[in-house]
Chain A
Amino acid sequence: MNNGRILLIGVRRGWAEHLQFLRNRREMVGGLLGTVVMFVVMVRWQGGADVPGTHASKAVLMAAGFLAFCVSSVALMNLPMVITADREQGALLRLRTIPGGLAAYLVGRAVAVLSQLGTYVVVMLTAGLMFTRLTLPTAPADWLTLVWVLGLGVMAVVPLGAALGALLPGPRNAASVLSLPMTGLLIISGVLFPVTSLPEPVQWVAQAFPLYWQGLGLRSVFLPHSMLAAEIGHSWRPLQTAAVLATWSLGGMILASWLLRRTTRRESGTRLTERQQRLAARSGY
């Protein structure tokens, strides 16, 4: 079995799963539309004025922030949940019994999550264009920034999400464990209002995570320079952004490849049975 063939099977697998996501009404309504509705409500409620001390629109700040938040939440919530579901239902185990199956699984997961991210980004950008004064960049340099900030931002969180998926015991668990920290990050990371209005220790916590940096990079594309008055250090700090995102990406990849390999190696029918019995006992049927 050659690698090119496995790669192709994996890509087709990922695309099939992406189409299933697009057809799934619950995920569309709960995930994608839910985020758009939340965004529109926040914009209508809070987005009317400028960011204090700047000539930057609060609504556009939120549009850039929600774009960053979508990337983080797809990678750090949705991805771990599908990975734990694949484990709990036995998809990982089945692929383990197929020659080349695990490699194709990993390719497929990557393709599916990237396609899902692409959908979210396009939908959120469209929502921004429709409901705020957000405009697409005109200068080629801004487009370049948009591409690398999104690309590196995705690379920073996807491996991390895969690692979380390998660690967490089950999809329900994953949802309850992850939603609180994600909401916390949403509040402190400058998605809804500038981080500089928060106490300095909180700012440090926010700066430890990729969400803040991705948001900062996107604001540098979509907001005027007058916004800098409300940013830490009055600078877009592109080098630091690249460095932090690249570090998360590298660390995540090392962690994810180790954890995923460990998880799939341990996967077996008896483990599957144990998990399903525990699940059945909990849900009481």
Chain B
Amino acid sequence: MGGPVISTRGLRMRYGRTEVLHGVDLEVHAGEVVALLGPNGAGKTTTIEILEGLRARSAGEVEVLGVDPDNGGDCWRGRLGIVLQNWRDHPRWRVRQLLAHVAEFYPHPRDPDELLAALGLGAQAEQTIERLSGGQRRRLDVALGIVGRPELLFLDEPTAGFDPEARREFHELVERLARVEGMTILLTTHDLAEAERLADRIAVLVDGAVLVFGTHAELTARVRADSQVRWSEQGVPRTANTPDPSALVWELHQRLGGPVPDLEIRRPSLEESYLGLVTERNAA
């Protein structure tokens, strides 16, 4: 114990002749919530599926809970919770029936009724699954993912297609799992706000490689795009982009010999910086 819960080094994945992951390095520690953030097609789902042991990698070292996912047996599987993107399975089962069925596979499962109540599905317990709304269905997927008391939970694009209300409720649920239960969680998302809200650390995955990996503050410092400085010189509006607006303003002060007319400094938001990063990479 004490080692990272997830660690990958030089993880590569090829489909035919296209390489979709070019050496992904990740390290997730116990009790952390880490978001894998990136645009569609960046390789988030491929990465998470390799970690879940659902897909064999082409190259690189991977350890999840101290085990290579390619050789993960039932015992290892029992320590993971997995929530995938597009489950529409078991439509004719009743909500409680399926949860109780899945619970049976684990040695120390949670109580299905308590879990349903905690996820706000108590009223739907006897309903067939095909009649659940999208948000309810997703909460059931999470219930099924955590009924076996996993140490590590994978959430793949958990809020895709949610309305704002459902999204907020889902965020509260994930926060509860992380803070109250101390569960280690790896989630993928293409939504920066979601990553910021939920994750202790964010790994930005673009084009099959991790560009930046760190806390929100570290990320902001690392990816910050140039600030925009505006001022007037002899009545003519001027604009300049610079990574160091303070230095530019100091220089202007000296050059103009006093206060700078119409001075304005705009620092980009993290979102703008992130989008700049993503489009820059995609254009390259």
Contacts and interface: CB of A to CB of B under 8 A. Distances in A.
A is bound by B: yes
Interface of A: 1, 6, 9, 12-13, 16-17, 20, 24, 86, 89-91, 93-94, 96-101, 104, 267-270, 272-273, 276
Given A94-B90, A97-B54, A98-B102, 11 more contacts: A1-B107, A9-B104, A16-B101, A89-B89, A90-B87, A90-B88, A97-B80, A267-B54, A268-B49, A268-B54, A272-B86
Contact of B78 (A1, A6, A17): A1
Contacts of B197: none
Nearest to B80: A97
Contacts of B78: 1, 99
Given A20-B92, A89-B91, A99-B106, A269 B101 contact: no
Contact of B77 (A17, A98, A272): A98
Question: 6 closest Cβ contacts across the A-B interface?
Answer: A99-B74, A91-B89, A269-B84, A99-B78, A90-B89, A97-B82
Interface of B: 45-46, 49, 52, 54-55, 74-75, 77-78, 80, 82, 84-93, 97, 101-102, 104-107, 144, 148, 156
B77 to A, nearest CB: 4
A272 to B, nearest CB: 5
Contact of B86 (A6, A20, A24, A276): A276
B89 A104 contact: no
A104 B84 contact: no
Nearest to B88: A89
Contacts of B82: 97
| Residue of A13, A89, A96, A269 most packed against chain B (CB within 10 A) | A269
B55 A268 contact: yes
26 contacts: A1-B78, A1-B105, A1-B107, A9-B105, A16-B93, A16-B97, A20-B93, A24-B92, A90-B84, A90-B89, A91-B89, A94-B84, A94-B87, A97-B84, A99-B75, A99-B106, A100-B105, A269-B54, A269-B85, A269-B156, A270-B46, A270-B49, A270-B55, A272-B85, A273-B85, A273-B86
A269 B46 CA distance: 9
A90 B93 contact: no
B92 A272 contact: no
A96 to B, nearest CB: 7
A272 B84 contact: yes
Nearest to A96: B54
A90 B54 contact: no
A278 to B, nearest CB: 12
A98 B105 contact: yes
A89 B130 CA distance: 11
Contact of A269 (B49, B74, B92, B97): B49
A270 to B, nearest CB: 6
Contacts of A91: 89-90
Contact of B74 (A1, A20, A276): A1
A17 B94 CA distance: 11
Contacts of B156: 269
Contacts of A17: 92
A142 B89 CA distance: 44
Contacts of A270: 45-46, 49, 55
B45 A12 contact: no
B193 to A, nearest CB: 23
B183 to A, nearest CB: 16
A12 B101 CA distance: 9
Contacts of B74: 1, 99-100
Contacts of A267: 54
Nearest to A269: B84
A269 B145 CA distance: 15
A267 B106 CA distance: 22
Contacts of A101: 105
Contacts of B85: 269, 272-273
Contacts of A93: 54, 84, 87, 89
Contacts of A89: 87-91
